[in-house]
Amino acid sequence: MRLIIRLFKMAKPWARYLVVATLALFVVTAINLATPFVTRQIIALMESGAYRQEIRRIVGMALVLLGLFALRAVCQFLSSYLSHLSSWRLVSRLRSVIYSHFQKLSMSYYQDKQTGQLMSRVINDTSTFENLIAHAIPDLATNILTLAGVLVILLTINPLLALLVCAPIPFIALLSVVLRRIRRSFSLGQKKIAELNALLQDNFSGMKEIQVFNKQEYETARVAEKSTEHSSALIKALFYSGILNPSVGFISSLGTVIVLIAGPLLALQTGLKIADVVAFLLYLNLFYAPIATLTRVAEDMQQALAGAERVFEVLDTQPDIQDAPNARAVGRLSGTVQFERVNFAYRDGQPVLREISFKIEAGRMLALVGPTGVGKTTLSALIARFYDPQDGRILIDGIDIRELTLESLRNQLSLVLQDVFLFNGTIAENIAYGCDDASREDIARAAGVACIAEYIEGLPEGYDTVIGERGVRLSGGQKQRISIARAILRDSPILILDEATASVDTETETEIQEAISKIAGTRTLIVIAHRLSTVRRADQILVLDEGRIAEQGRHDELIARHGLYAKLCREQIL
């Protein structure tokens, strides 16, 4: 119930549609209850033998029935359309809300999540709410009203016969234990479809690797396994449904048998009229149909609630990194970055950075070098507050970054990663991604600084060239330079280049180094590099080893010390 209340609170903007749909359903229910009564009256007139004298009344009642049927059709349309309108608007809103919440969650949340699983929360789990709002809950309300209304009418017709037809109901209640198994199976099915989505997303992204390593059969088997697990969970749920629905139908049919046996006996012994027996049979269909429908409604609600649990599990997850209560927004800072005794670990007992302290003045270039896995990329992630250190402080222009709002902090930064992500759009859209008001001249100027303008302008469609998903139509070096152009256009005071030349050839590396040279001195540059040729001109080089600063200084100074940096340089020359 708590989950349903939360859903209806989110559906408040469309409450007026739900109210009209509900009222229309009540009218339909009232008509359904009234039609057997009118039919009973017609049969009673015919049974009285005064058929010829009452022909006008009978025709009038028949026309009343026709009018009721027409009104019922109109109300059924209103109920169906408005409830679907409300439910799909709610689904659309929920998808936006859950996606927006995903964007607020910290990077630690995504460490053990697959993209397909997250997509399933947004698409598959939310779609179950349509069935809940448009079908399950309206059916629940109307069937309960119908059941109560029919019971009252049956009791007024003949209390003894009404009590007899209620005898099978306790047996239907015993079947509720099956509902719990249905819910568990549907919940497992939704979990398995999320795993299948995750696997498919990974495989589509890695299709080149699958083909080059001839792993088609292996991946097909994995997809088949996940698909089978999903279908098995649903088949199990449908198995229990297959038990539930026929059982309810069989128990309901006992009522008809009771009426057919007890009705004539009561007619002989108490003078019960044939019209009342016929009315009883007509109302009996209305009496047991809601009971059978309620089992299906309960099944639909179990499936929807399983989806609701998964959706609200995400919405109730709070980000690790949030604005402090007293966080303040600032304008453009100059870009002086300082670490003070920073310690950080992704997991307790496994430190990644130890006692890191340094300062780089605004407009200078800092290089971070060292063996793989020593914490260079982690250090840049801390500056952007993707994570917070366990100890120490990080400052920009003397301000602790935790005292800044996340928005204003990240407005000070641009980031170029080794694994560049480009969106499926045009080159111009990708370069201007971080700068909404950029003109075409601004885009071209940034591309020129990044040494990619000549290539772009040589394309048939130039800056309007669509680059495909993740930039599949571009080489690694071209994607890197477009990413650098994007960072340049944003014109933030701090630019972090994380392994920007690690995956490119020598010629492309030279072009990227030229691009870096053009922006050196215009902003604070933090360059992470394995290729040490990129960092020779840095104003300060930090050499990290086992999470600590092993050496620091300029290139010539570090070479003269014959330490770790000099060793790394010799290995690359060799």
Amino acid letter, residue 156: T
Quick one: pLDDT at residue 71?
92
Residue 405 · residue 412 · CB < 8 Å = no
Quick one: pLDDT at residue 212?
65
Give residues with Cβ within 8 angstroms of 570, minimum separation 6. Answer: none
Q: Which of 139-143, 275-279, 347-351, 364-368 has the lowest mean pLDDT?
A: 275-279
- Is the pLDDT at 422 greater than 70? The verdict is yes
Task: Report angle CA 198, 200, 202 to the nearest 5 degrees.
Answer: 70
Segment of 125-139, 355-369, 488-502 carrying the highest mean pLDDT: 355-369
Residue 256 · residue 284 · CB < 8 Å = yes
Torsion angle of the four alpha carbons 417, 418, 421, 426, in this order, in degrees rounded to the nearest 10: 100
Q: How far apart are CA 105 and CA 320, in angstroms?
A: 7
Q: How many residues does the structure list for the chain?
A: 574
Q: How far apart are CA 47 and CA 276, in angstroms?
A: 11
* pLDDT per position as a tens digit, 96-126: 888 888 888 888 887 777 777 788 788 888 8
Phi, psi of 158 (to 5 degrees): -160, 105
> Which secondary structure element, helix H or strand E, spans residue 528, and what is its range?
strand 524-528
Quick one: pLDDT at residue 116?
72
* Angular region, 405: left φ>0, alpha ψ -120 to 50, beta rest: beta
Segment of 3-17, 254-268, 388-402, 535-549 carrying the highest mean pLDDT: 388-402
- Is the pLDDT at 520 greater than 90? The verdict is no
**Residue-by-residue DSSP string for 28-94:** HHHHHHHHHHHHHHHHHHHHTT-TTTTHHHHHHHHHHHHHHHHHHHHHHHHHHHHHHHHHHHHHHHH
* pLDDT per position as a tens digit, 221-240: 988 988 888 888 888 877 87
Q: In the structure encoding, which two tokens stand for residue 371, read together? A: 């063996």
Quick one: pLDDT at residue 94?
87
* pLDDT per position as a tens digit, 457-499: 888 888 898 887 666 677 777 888 888 888 888 888 999 988 7
State the residue for tokens 């005071």. 493
Cβ neighbours of 175 (radius 10 Å): 17
> Which secondary structure element, helix H or strand E, spans residue 201, and what is its range?
helix 177-205
* pLDDT per position as a tens digit, 56-77: 777 788 888 888 889 989 998 9
Give residues with Cβ within 8 angstroms of 261, minimum separation 6. Answer: none
- Is the pLDDT at 574 greater than 50? The verdict is no
* pLDDT per position as a tens digit, 387-417: 999 999 999 999 999 999 988 998 898 888 8
* pLDDT per position as a tens digit, 162-198: 787 777 777 766 665 666 677 677 778 877 887 888 7
Q: What percent of the chain has pLDDT over 70?
A: 89
Q: Which of 45-49, 312-316, 327-331 has the lowest mean pLDDT?
A: 45-49
Residue with the bigger pLDDT between 48 and 336: it is 336
Confidence of residue 505 (pLDDT cuts 50, 70, 90): low
The per-residue pLDDT of the chain, averaged, comes to: 82
* pLDDT per position as a tens digit, 262-318: 777 776 677 667 777 777 777 777 776 677 677 667 767 777 887 888 888 888 888
Give residues with Cβ within 8 angstroms of 193, minimum separation 6. Answer: 120, 124, 230
Phi, psi of 369 (to 5 degrees): -130, 170
| pTM check: above 0.85 | no
